Amino acid sequence: MVTKSKFQAIRGTRDLLPPETALWNHVEQTAHTVFGTFGFGEIRPPVFEATELFARAVGGETDIVSKEMYSFEDFESNELAALRTLLVAEQSSISDPNFFFAYELKVTEFRERLGNGIERRAVPRTQENERALADLGSLLDSIAFDRQEYETTRDAAIFERFNLYVGTVRNYLLAVHLGDILSLRPEATASVCRAYIEHNMQQLPQPVKLYYLGPMFRRERPQKGRHRQFYQIGAEVLGGTDAPAIDAEVIEMVMMFFDRVGLTGVALDINSIGHNAPDCRPAYVEKLRAALEKVKDQLGADSQRRIETNPLRVLDSKLEHEQPIIATLPHIADHLCADCAAHYAAVKRQLGLRGVFFKENWRLVRGLDYYMRTTFEITAKGLGSQNAVCGGGRYDGLMELLGGPPAKGIGFAIGEDRLILSLQESGEGAVAQGRDVYIAWMGEHAYAAAVRAAKDLRNEGFSVELPATELKFGKALERADKLGSRYALILGDNEVSEGSWTLKALADGTQQKFTEPDLLEYLRKQRALSS
């Protein structure tokens, strides 16, 4: 029996639906407007990039890169991929020599196709692929030699070796990259830097100010405010100087945006994590590591591991029992080099100048490797444990790390899903829905007039609902009400032949009669009054 399968959105992803999407649009429109007033231009990078780009920028050891990326091999060569799958799936318990000889032929075919693919550039010419090609070549030579021996001697010891060959072939095949390794973007700073380099933006007047909106992908455990496909609104300032005024202006911009969309309970935390020179962050990290070693047995497994891998991340811990221990650890602000300390002090002064309130949070280290100096995070109300609605910071040095020219960088990304959630929780989420005018028509002549009226009204920017089939007036008015319409325009054949149209305000039931041009004029005036 054929069972009906029921498709559902993949865990961690969801449909954004009306009326909520109106709020999303409103938020995005506000970002376009506010960021535009600061001289930012929009960039739309692709949603997938080379995995290596994120590994290098965000850091191979970070949770984002090591656990959360959606990665795939992008191959042109489907036949080669199918052959590889078949060969990899082969069991090594061979009882029939003819079976093995058929297998050998397939491996030979794979090797030939791989070589051709590399020549034709359908398969990337990587070191791994060149090595696999050579290794498979020598292995096939050994196999051919053994096969000939076996055909004359039927020696069981040689037959045994065939099984071993299958395992070796499998290992070689698994090292082959049939295509580029790509990932859905988990964030966009790396992409924006890649684009800056690719398009030689260092030749433009500096700094280059870019912003972006769009989906990001991280394979995290879904919960309130945490999705696997989520949306960010971000901005980056690239090139130019690292003047503290830039840090402050970027933060001022995001705070102004939050203010404009009506976000409540907004709190800004800032910190400086210094830079990667012996007398700055690395010296602090060593002090931190030493302090952590002393309290190691009181820490949980994650923090214990991080003492080795990345002690700064211990400061991020949310574990209740670790909090009093963390409170006793050394603060980075006391160990910054003179330049970083001066930069941090200037950023704080510049924020003050702009009337931006902030709280210093020495534990704010952020989970991406590219940061240096200024880091910041913004929280909002109504979000539960995932309350960071924006994160950002400075990342001088990232551009060089990606093979680009020396260029400074600072930016942020807002979690749009969380922003929307917070707006909804605080009652700021209502965006006017419904229609301006619902046209209740009856009769053929009335319908022709209704179609014309709908077109004229829509051209004037009014939202209009024109029912596709005739409805009794009572029913039509009921529908108009359900759709949250402001007015119902009542058009019967009589109204049309008399040229006098009835407009009913649904809030109070009052009715007025208009000629067609007067009606438009009246609606325009009402709109001006209510805006």
In the complex with ligand HAM, which residue's Cβ is closer, 178 or 347?
347
SS3 of 389-403: the string is EEEEEECCCHHHHCC
Task: Choose one: 92-100, 218-226, 420-428, 477-485; the region binding ligand HAM (CB under 6 A).
Answer: 218-226
392 binds ligand HAM (CB under 6 A): yes
- Alpha carbons 448 and 230: distance in angstroms, whole number: 45
Burial class (CB in 10 A: 0-12, 13-18, 19+), 393: buried
CB of 22 to ligand HAM, least distance (A): 20
Q: Which long-range contacts (CB under 8 A, 24 or more apart) does 449-452 make?
A: 449/491, 449/496, 450/489, 450/491
209 binds ligand HAM (CB under 6 A): no
In this structure, what token pair is assigned to residue 81?
A: 């991929």
Positions 335 through 374 that interact with ligand HAM (CB under 6 A): 368
Task: Choose one: 122-130, 220-228, 432-440, 503-511; the region binding ligand HAM (CB under 6 A).
Answer: 220-228
Query: Which DSSP symbol is given to 460?
Result: T
436 binds ligand HAM (CB under 6 A): no
Regarding beta strands 48-50 and 437-442, do their DSSP bridges make them parallel or antiparallel, or are they unpaired?
unpaired
398 binds ligand HAM (CB under 6 A): no
218 binds ligand HAM (CB under 6 A): yes
Query: Which DSSP symbol is given to 322?
Result: G
Strands (DSSP E) found in 179-290: 179-184, 208-217, 229-238, 267-272
428 binds ligand HAM (CB under 6 A): no
In this structure, what token pair is assigned to residue 73?
A: 């091999």
24 binds ligand HAM (CB under 6 A): no
Task: Choose one: 70-78, 223-231, 314-322, 507-515; the region binding ligand HAM (CB under 6 A).
Answer: 223-231
Task: Choose one: 217-225, 331-339, 397-405, 474-482; the region binding ligand HAM (CB under 6 A).
Answer: 217-225
Regarding beta strands 437-442 and 464-465, do their DSSP bridges make them parallel or antiparallel, or are they unpaired?
parallel
What contacts 479, CB < 8 A, 6 or more positions away? 438, 465, 467, 471
Query: Residue from 185, 194, 227, 435 that binds ligand HAM (CB under 6 A)?
Result: 227
In the complex with ligand HAM, which residue's Cβ is closer, 236 or 396?
236
411 binds ligand HAM (CB under 6 A): yes
35 binds ligand HAM (CB under 6 A): no
CB of 230 to ligand HAM, least distance (A): 3
CB of 46 to ligand HAM, least distance (A): 16
CB of 338 to ligand HAM, least distance (A): 25
CB of 376 to ligand HAM, least distance (A): 9
What contacts 442, CB < 8 A, 6 or more positions away? 470, 471, 472, 473, 491, 492, 493
In this structure, what token pair is assigned to residue 513?
A: 């009669």
Task: Choose one: 122-130, 164-172, 405-413, 476-484; the region binding ligand HAM (CB under 6 A).
Answer: 405-413
Query: Residue from 311, 391, 429, 492 that binds ligand HAM (CB under 6 A)?
Result: 391
247 binds ligand HAM (CB under 6 A): no
The number of residues that bind ligand HAM (CB under 6 A) is 24
239 binds ligand HAM (CB under 6 A): no
382 binds ligand HAM (CB under 6 A): no
CB of 225 to ligand HAM, least distance (A): 6
In the complex with ligand HAM, which residue's Cβ is closer, 124 or 186?
186
Q: Let me know the angle formed at the C-alpha of 38 by 35 and 44, rounded to the nearest 5 degrees.
A: 40
Half-sphere exposure of 89 (CA within 13 A, CB side): 6
- Alpha carbons 369 and 363: distance in angstroms, whole number: 15
Kindly list the distances between the CA atom of residue 294 and the CA atoms of 287, 290, 323, 466, in Å, as whole numbers in the listed order. 11, 7, 15, 74
Positions 279 through 338 that interact with ligand HAM (CB under 6 A): none
Name the site residues for ligand HAM (rule: CB under 6 A): 187, 189, 218, 220, 225-227, 230, 232, 234, 236, 368, 388-393, 411-413, 415, 417-418
